[in-house]
Amino acid sequence: MSVDRRKFLKLAGVTALGLAGGAPAKVLAQDSVTPDTLKEVTEATATPKAPLVARRWAMVIDLRKCREAGDCNDCQKACHLAHNVPDFGNPKDEIKWIWKESFEHAFHEQEHEFLEDKTKHGPAVVLCNHCDNPPCVRVCPTQATWKREEDGIVMMDWHRCIGCRYCVLACPYGSRSFNWRNPREFIKELQPDFPTRTRGVVEKCTFCDERLARGQMPACVEACKAGALTFGDLEDPNSEVRKLLHEHFTIRRKPGLGTQPEVYYIV
Partner 1 sequence: MHNGGKIILGLVIFLILITFPVWYNVANDRAGYVPELEKAARGDNCVRDSSYMTGFHMDLLNEWRDQVVRQNDRWEVGNDGVRYERSLSNTCLNCHENKDKFCDKCHDYMGVVPYCWDCHIVPKEIQQ
Partner 2 sequence: MLEKALSGDKRYWSWVAVLLIVIGTGTLFYLRQYHEGLTITGLSRDVTWGFYIAQFTFLVGVAASAVMVVLPYYLHNYKAFGKITILGEFLAIGAVTMCMTFIFVDMGQPYRITNVFLHPSPSSLMFWDTISVFGYLILNVIISQVTLGAERKGIAPPNWIRPIIILSIPWAISIHTVTAFLYSGLAARPFWMTAILAPRFLASAFSGGPALLILFCFILRKFTKFDAGKEPIQKIALIVTYAMAVNMFFIGMELFTAIYSNIPEHISHFEFLFFGLDGNTTLVPWMWTSMILGIISLILLINPGTRKNETVLGFSCIILILSIWIDKGLGLVVAGFTPTPLGTVVEYVPTFPEIMITVGVYALGLLIITGLYKIALSVRKQVTT
Q: Which residues bind partner 2 (CB under 8 A)?
A: 91-95, 101, 104-106, 108-109, 135, 137-144, 160-166, 168-174, 177-182, 198-202, 254, 257-259
Name the one range near partner 1 by CB under 8 A: 31-39, 88-96, 130-138, 259-267: 31-39
Is the torsion defined by CA of 169, 220, 85, 192 positive or negative? Answer: negative
3-state helix, strand, coil in the chain (%, to 5): 25, 15, 60
Q: Per-residue contact track with partner 1, 58 to 97, x per CB under 8 A?
A: --------------------------x-------------
**Contact between 27 and partner 1 per CB under 8 A:** yes
| Residue 217, burial from CB neighbour count under 10 angstroms (0-12, 13-18, 19+) | middle
Dihedral class, residue 109 (left if φ above 0, else alpha if ψ from -120 to 50, else beta) = alpha
Name the one range near partner 1 by CB under 8 A: 4-12, 68-76, 223-231, 233-241: 4-12
**Contact between 8 and partner 1 per CB under 8 A:** yes
Of 229, 111, 116, 126, whose CA–CA distance to 174 is shortest?
126
Cβ of residue 145: shortest distance to partner 2, in angstroms? Answer: 10
Q: Choosing among partner 2, partner 1, none, which partner's interface includes residue 135 (Cβ < 5 to 8 Å by kind)? A: partner 2
Closer to partner 2 by CB, 176 or 211: give it: 176
Q: Per-residue contact track with partner 1, 125 to 144, x per CB under 8 A?
A: --------------------
